[in-house]
Every structure is written in C-alpha cells, then in structure tokens.
C-alpha cells in the first residue's frame, strides 16, 4: 500500500513534467502522454524492481523514452516522418507561434538528434549520462547534439549565440 502511495505522489509530482519533456521528442501530446502512462503502468506492474530504483523519475523517463523509441522503430523511420509530417502538432492550448515553429523544427530532426537535444537541453543531463542512458559512446551523443543544435539555431537563441561566438573566434 505504501508503495502505491509513493507512486501516486510521484505521479502527482512528475507526470506533467515528464509529458512536457517527451512532447519535444514525440511532437504529439497524445503520444507523449501515452508513453509516460505506460512507464507508470510498468512501475505498478513490477513494484519490487521499482522500489530498488535510485532515481524513480529518471527510471520513468527512461522507460517512457524506450516506449517512444520502440514505437518509432516499429513504425519505421519513413512511416514516422510521413505520419508526423501529415498530422498537425498535438493541440496544446496556449502555445505561441514561436513554439509551434520550434515543435515543427524539432519534428524535422532525425529521431536520435531530437532525443539527445531533449535530454541535454530540457532535462539537463550531462553528455556522459546521456551516453550511459542511451548506451552509445559519448562521441555519438556529442555529434548528435552538434548537428541538432546547428539545425535549430535559427529558432533557439542560445544555439544561435554559439554559432555567432564560433564565427567570431
């Protein structure tokens, strides 16, 4: 009972934050919510394993990311691009035109770059932790970040600043 109570507290505390983070990868509110809900279902399903986790929110985010990634792979990259290019961005009330443009730009990035950008610039994970989480070399993460930042530079001030700084050196 105590386990479920603490999971409920976690749900109240971090469900919305996780959906916000996943949205920038999925580009769809429904997809993002679905993935995060699946993570919580798995936590309920395996309570003993979940109780041993050091950082429950990180565990939930990893599971949700795995869900999104496996759906992406199952659907095939081409199908994903077609589906997402045709479907409008998930209806999110209060979203500014700048944010709509940013979501669109994120959806044009290869999946791996979107994932790396989200984990580093929204979740604030260091490169080495992302490498561990995604099970890829640090160099791969760095390359994905560099390419993703370059493509988002017109829409994200801090990325544009980097490029300007680099131009002046």
Partner 1 sequence: MSELKELAWTVQESVQPAPFEQLERRGVRRRRRRQVLTGAAAAGATVAVLVVLLPLGGNARSQQPPVVKESDPVVLSKTAEVRSVAMATAGDWSASWADCASQPCRYGATVSRHGSKVTGLGGALPFVALRAGDEPIAVAAPSGAALDSADPTWPETVLLRLDGLRTALHYAKPTADFTTGEILTDRLGGNGELRVLNLQDSTLRQLRPAGLDGARSPVRDNTGRWWVVTGKSTSGSRSDIAWTDDGGKTWAKALLDPANPGAKIAVSPDGRTVVASSWVDGATLEAIGLLRMSTDRGAHWTTVADKPWARGGGPVVFNGSAVMLGQKLSDPTSSLYGISAGRAKPLNGVPDQLDDLAGDERLLYGIQLERPTAQKVAVSTDQGRTWRTFEPR
Structure tokens at 72: 């992406």
Q: Does 138 bind partner 1 (CB under 8 A)?
A: yes
Q: Rg of the chain's alpha carbons, rounded to an integer? A: 17
Query: By rule CB under 8 A, what string of x and - marks binding of each residue 63-92 to partner 1?
Result: -------x--x------------------x
Q: Counting every residue, how long is the chain? A: 169
Tell me which residues in 150-169 interact with partner 1 (CB under 8 A): 155-158, 162, 165-167, 169
Q: How far apart are CA 40 and CA 45, in angstroms?
A: 9
Q: How far apart are CA 101 and CA 89, in angstroms?
A: 10
**One of 63, 67, 68, 103 touching partner 1 (CB under 8 A):** 103
Number of residues that bind partner 1 (CB under 8 A): 70
Q: How many CB atoms lie within 10 A of CB 125?
A: 19
Of residues 44 and 82, the one with the C-beta less far from partner 1: 44
DSSP code string of 31-61: HHHHHHHHHHHHHHH-HHHHHT-S-HHHHHH
Q: Does 137 bind partner 1 (CB under 8 A)?
A: yes
78: exposed, middle or buried (Cβ count in 10 Å: 0-12, 13-18, 19+): exposed
Query: Is the CB of residue 120 less than 8 Å from the CB of residue 112?
Result: no
Query: By rule CB under 8 A, what string of x and - marks binding of each residue 7-46 to partner 1?
Result: xx--xx--xxx-xxx-xx----x--xx---x--xxxxxxx
Residues found near partner 1 in the complex (CB under 8 A): 4, 7-8, 11-12, 15-17, 19-21, 23-24, 29, 32-33, 37, 40-47, 52-55, 70, 73, 92-96, 98-99, 102-103, 117-118, 120-122, 126-129, 132, 135-140, 142-143, 145-146, 149, 155-158, 162, 165-167, 169
């Amino acid at each position: 009972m105590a386990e479920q109570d603490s999971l409920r507290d976690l749900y109240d505390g971090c469900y919305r934050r996780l959906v916000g983070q996943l949205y920038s990868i999925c580009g769809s509110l429904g997809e993002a919510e679905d993935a995060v809900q699946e993570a919580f279902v798995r936590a309920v399903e395996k309570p003993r394993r979940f109780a041993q986790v050091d950082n429950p929110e990180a565990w939930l985010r990893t599971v949700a990311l795995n869900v999104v990634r496996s759906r992406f792979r199952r659907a095939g990259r081409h199908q994903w691009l077609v589906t997402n290019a045709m479907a409008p961005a998930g209806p999110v009330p209060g979203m500014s035109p700048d944010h709509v443009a940013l979501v669109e730009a994120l959806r044009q990035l290869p999946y791996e770059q979107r994932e790396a950008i989200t984990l580093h610039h929204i979740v604030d994970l260091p490169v080495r932790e992302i490498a561990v989480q995604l099970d890829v070399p640090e160099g791969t993460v760095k390359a994905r970040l560099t390419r993703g930042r370059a493509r988002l530079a017109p829409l994200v001030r801090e990325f544009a600043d980097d490029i300007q700084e680099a131009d002046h050196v």
